[in-house]
Amino acid sequence: MGTAIDGLSSGLDTTSMINSLMAVEALPQTQLKTKLASDQSMITSLQGLNTRLTLLNSTASGDATVNALNLFTASTSAPSLTATANTSAAAGSLDVTVTKLAQTQVDVTAAMASWPVDAGGAPAKLTIVDAIGKQTEIAPASTSLDDVVTAINAASGGAAAVKVPAGNGTYRLQLTATASGAAGAFQIYQGSAADVTAGTATDLMSDPAAAVVRTAQDAEAVLYAGTAAEQKITSATNTFTNLLPGVSVTATAVSAAPVTVTVASDTAAISQKASDLVKAVNDALGFISDNSSVTTTTTADGTSAAKGGIFTGNSSVRAVGDALLTAMAAPVNGKSPSEYGIVITRDGNFTFDKDKLAAAMASDPAGTSAALQTIASRVATSTNNATDPVQGSVTSLIKGQQSEVADLNDQISNWDTRLANRRATLQAQFTNMEVLLGGLKAQSSWLTGQLAGLSTSSSSSSGN
């Protein structure tokens, strides 16, 4: 950049003159910057819309999945039984009598101070035999009962051990099945697996001082008790899964009389899902409306001016709103969504009437759930068309704006270089002008001096 000599010879404010010229030169770049700011605002608004549509798509897609709105409550007629229902359940009732609760086997050995040794003086081996006859041989590191407990627990043979004080420095080994119910049953022997097979091992529970504290037992329930269709159901735990399709029942006590399990549509939960869908749709439509509205302002002199929102005139955004509106408002099997509580208002959004939905659920629960699922599926499709990362209309708009912003930034950067060069050129021109003008002034002064000298000489000659 050249060095400016501001009015040194001319007395002109050359810096102000250059700045004024540069302001004119920079008008194209200023227009680019204005366009850049507008595009960046559009990107921000489109991203805000895309976020709302993505959240709506998540809500709608969840509701549209198979059986997502098949929501049920399960109740029982006695506190000793609790029931739960999943989306594969169906409304109905069933009487069940629980005759047995599941038990986990617990054995305790006779009291001992240490673990016995075998004929060779080594710590005697143990063998656990599970309910299907699998043998797990255990070799303790020493006769210490702590080492025996450690070896049993490390073997994973179907029983866990703990040392329990029995008085006078002795202890019992308590062995608890690692699985509940009959499948967790086990036997424990002193001796090797080969000894068990040969029948020479000692069953530790055969000692009179040992005890089976609790036997392995499955829970048992009876359906249609006392009838020709009486049916027994067993479970390794106190929970009977799929007692009815999609219904599980858990018992805490046996029941002397049949307990009724009742499954009914969960209208409150379905209503909440419908309400959440309406709220999310209104959020997206409201955002589009707010950013598409035209506002009119009046100046002090009475002049009116209209200004559109950032989405005003954007056909792609308008199409997104129209598709979403149609997805929610279009009939389902010839019925208006308003029959299910989804009511469109004059201003283009929706309200939810839970009483209408409750009435529809009472008269046709399956049909109402299916209709709501159809609406949710349509909303999911319309929002996916807008937000799909590759082909979504809104995501494509965002990508297009981002590409334009990148190009504008390049153009603005190029203008920075061009304007800097232009300023340097102007400064050099004005500096040269000042230098030349200074030279001319110097010559003028010299000539003036020479002419003055000549005039003096002429006067002197005339006097002589």
Stated as kind and residue range, the H or E segment containing 145 is helix 145-155
Residue 454, by phi and psi: left (phi above 0), alpha (psi -120 to 50) or beta? alpha
Residues 251 and 296 in one domain: no
Q: b vs e for 372-411, b when ≥16 Cβ sit within 10 Å of the residue's Cβ?
A: bbbbbbbbbebbbbbbeeeebbbbebbeebeeebeebeee
Does residue 459 lie in a domain region?
no
Q: What pLDDT sits at residue 412?
A: 83
Residues 199 and 133 in one domain: yes
Q: What pLDDT sits at residue 318?
A: 94
Q: Are strands 231-235 and 219-223 parallel, antiparallel or unpaired?
A: antiparallel
**CA max distance for the chain:** 168
Boundary-marking domain end, from 346, 377, 395:
395
Give the chain's residues under pLDDT 50. 1-2
Q: What pLDDT sits at residue 2?
A: 46
Does residue 326 lie in a domain region?
yes
| Short-list 404, 294, 426, 299, CA closest to 2 | 426
Exposure on the CB side of residue 78, measured as CA atoms within 13 A: 18
Residues 60 and 193 in one domain: no
Residues 85 and 184 in one domain: no
Count the domains in the chain.
Answer: 3
Does residue 345 lie in a domain region?
yes
- Identify whether the C-beta of residue 339 lies closer than 8 Å to the C-beta of residue 360: yes
Residues 281 and 388 in one domain: yes
Boundary-marking domain end, from 395, 412, 429:
395
CA–CA gap between residue 125 and residue 118 (Å, rounded): 8
Residues 86 and 175 in one domain: no
Does residue 359 lie in a domain region?
yes
Residues 175 and 305 in one domain: no
Torsion sign over Cα 370, 376, 378, 381 = negative
Encoding tokens for residue 256?
Answer: 């002397």
Residues 53 and 144 in one domain: no
Q: What pLDDT sits at residue 1?
A: 44
Does residue 402 lie in a domain region?
no
Domain containing 159 equals: 106-214
Residues 197 and 304 in one domain: no
Does residue 439 lie in a domain region?
no
Quick check: helix, strand or coil at residue 313?
Answer: coil
| Short-list 87, 318, 297, 112, CA closest to 204 | 112
Residues 245 and 289 in one domain: no
Does residue 24 lie in a domain region?
no
- Residue whose tokens read 């399990």: 261
- Residue whose tokens read 């309910």: 131
Which residues are registered as beta bridge partners of 83? Answer: 249
| Short-list 255, 232, 183, 218, CA closest to 103 | 218
Boundary-marking domain end, from 395, 426, 443:
395
Q: What are the helix (H) ranges across 70-119?
A: none
Residues 280 and 390 in one domain: yes
Residues 277 and 389 in one domain: yes
Does residue 252 lie in a domain region?
yes
Instruction: For residue 162, count other CB atoms closer than 10 A to its CB.
Output: 14
